Amino acid sequence: MRNSNGCLTGLVAGGSRIFLLMVWFSRPVLWNSVFSSVIWPCLGFLFLPFTTLMYYVLASAQPGKPLAGIDWLWIILALIIDVFTIGAAGQTNRENLPASVPGSTAPPAA
């Protein structure tokens, strides 16, 4: 049975990164007030785009105040979405591995 979730996974992962870039370019002053350096947003763009975007939304809603209470629940939910997106991409790409690689789902060559 062929898994066809690769396109959906790519759309979710790519869409969050595109939205993150749009926010970064459209509100640079607010972005710089939330993130003091360029390193964290860049790492967030590469590895955890939903979490970075959620942190930006929550931190920009109350500038100058630290996250507290229910804000951390939203950060954890965004982190779970990021982890599931990475896991879904890995699961989808298992069929592209050669049969000799451990974890591959390809049938062995006859």
Could you give the percent of the chain with pLDDT greater than 90?
Answer: 46
Q: What is the pLDDT of residue 6?
A: 60
| Structural tokens at position 31 | 């972005």
pLDDT tens column, 5-36: 667 666 766 888 899 999 999 999 999 989 98
Specify the pTM. 0.76
In the chain, domain spans: 6-91
Q: What is the pLDDT of residue 86?
A: 81
The answer to whether the beta carbons of residues 20 and 53 sit under 8 Å apart is yes
Q: Which of 95, 98, 80 is nearest to 4 (CA)?
A: 95
Say whether pLDDT at 3 is over 60: no
